[in-house]
Amino acid sequence: MPASSATQIDADRLWYRLSELAEIGKSEGGGVTRLSFTKEERAAKELVASYMREAGLRVREDAAGNLIGRREARVEEAPAVLAGSHVDSVRNGGDFDGPLGVLGAVEALQTMDERGVQTQRPVEVVAFTDEEGARFSFGMIGSRATAGALTPEHLANEDENGVSVAEAMRASGLDPEHIGEATRVRGSVYAYVELHIEQGRILESRDLPVGVVTGIAGPAWLKFTLTGEAAHAGTTPMNLRRDALAAAAAVMGRIEREAARTGTSVGTAGQLDLSPGGINIIPGHVSFSLDLRDIDEDVRNDVEARIMHEAALLCEKRGVELGTKTLQRLPPAPCSSLVRNAAREACEASGLVPFELASGAGHDGMHLTELCPIGMIFVRSKDGLSHNPAEYSSKEDCAAGTEVLYRTLLELADGD
Ligand code: HGY
Ligand code: MN
Ligand code: MN
């Protein structure tokens, strides 16, 4: 790890690339939309591939569409150190969620190249396919494939237009039959580290530019469907209704109350559909999503059980039929001491406080915990905002996080 605390990476180049990538999929209102297997995501991967080549990396795309740039090492066949994130986005998202981790890793490897650094282990930058799950209602397709955990059921999932993951892959030149070729075997990867914006307010509240992640909260995504009876809004007395939307609203109230009760869980209903949708018609059918998370899986499961129990009772009382479907369910993922120690040392060597915090947001590393030790480095988010066009991290903070990533990679790629 470099002796001096002076910044080694090129902050201007990093910022220029972040700004250039942010233009792909940008709408008039300033939000970014780059869904998986679309022309926007393809354009983003082409641009990132060009940066990887500028950094002297050997570039390939695996069977899951993960874009990979590799830097060779003294020991060619040694287990590689992986660094990366994603370039797909949520709908109308921000400029930094994902791109900072991919472009920060490219910048770190280009800095190694320019300084003639040769590491013992190879280092690879990975832009994972579909981390966000914005198109197919479950996420992390690329990291699941890397872990060999992508199932035929996953590939059969459809987007809102009825296009399956497999069909979308074929349309973008990939063959889902060969998805197994993206699997990496245990022992082939030394460690995985991801640079990412915090997407919360903890670093900002402590006036810190960078933090080291202790663990990643586990998300459970469910879809609720409520079936009541569409009826005339004017002629149906309140006590004779089977109002699906009124029942859904009551369930959402329970979600808010049960999640808030623990002080650590978070529960969100982010998607809502209803029908028939007339001003003068009592809604007969409602569906909505639940995103429920906690860093402690038992606490999350207890909150979920309470929500389900209360939802069943209040729907029965209202004569509304309740259905639920699990879309994804991931355990919380602890970050390894190997990566945490390297990142803390890198913070100190960069003249930064090695502050540690948990991640409320999910990340690709959650699927790699069986494959290798994982860890993350966070960069401060302005006002804690993310999944929003106003998402912002300063050039100085992005550079500070990338410098910590650079030094962490040197430690992991050379340490014993
Ligand atoms: O949903 C998440 O936590 C992440 O942004 N995919
Ligand atoms: Mn992300
Ligand atoms: Mn995100």
Provide the 10 A C-beta neighbour count for residue 358.
Answer: 18
Q: What CATH fold (topology level) applies to the domain 219-329? A: Alpha-Beta Plaits (3.30.70)
Task: Specify the residue with its C-alpha closest to ligand 1, atom 6.
Answer: 132
| Ligand 1 mutation pick, 34, 86, 90, max ligand atoms within 8 A of CB | 90
Please list, in sequence order, all residues whose beta carbon lies within 8 angstroms of the beta carbon of residue 290, skipping any fewer than 6 positions away: 220, 221, 222, 223, 224, 255, 267, 268, 269, 307
Ligand sitting nearest the alpha carbon of 100? 2
Ligand 1 atom 4: the closest Cα is on which residue? 362
pTM: 0.91
At residue 112, the 3 state secondary structure works out as helix
Which listed ligand is nearest to 387 at the C-alpha?
Answer: 3
Closest ligand 1 atom to Cα of 139:
6
* Tokens (6 digits) for 192: 């995985």
Per-residue pLDDT tens digits of the chain, which is 416 residues long: 777 778 899 999 999 999 999 999 999 989 999 999 999 999 999 999 999 999 999 999 999 999 999 999 999 899 999 999 999 999 999 999 999 999 999 999 999 999 999 999 999 999 999 999 999 988 999 999 999 999 999 999 999 999 999 999 999 999 999 999 999 999 999 999 999 999 999 999 999 999 999 999 999 999 999 999 999 999 999 999 999 999 999 999 999 999 999 999 999 999 999 999 999 999 999 999 999 999 999 999 999 999 999 999 999 999 999 999 999 999 999 999 999 999 999 999 999 999 999 999 999 999 999 999 999 999 999 999 999 999 999 999 999 999 999 999 999 999 77
Give the ligand 1 atom nearest the CA of 90.
5
Judge contact between 176 and 388, C-beta under 8 A. no
Angle between helices 99-114 and 39-54 in degrees, nearest 10: 20
Q: So where are the chain's domains?
A: 11-217+332-414, 219-329
Chain centroid offset of residue 283 CA = 34
Ligand 1 contact, 131 CB (< 6 A): yes
CA distance 128 to 95: 17
Which atom of ligand 1 is least distant from the CA of 291? Answer: 1
> What letter does residue 199 receive in the DSSP assignment?
-
- The structural architecture, per CATH, of the domain 11-217+332-414 is 3-Layer(aba) Sandwich (3.40)
Phi, psi at 57, each rounded to 5°: -90, 155
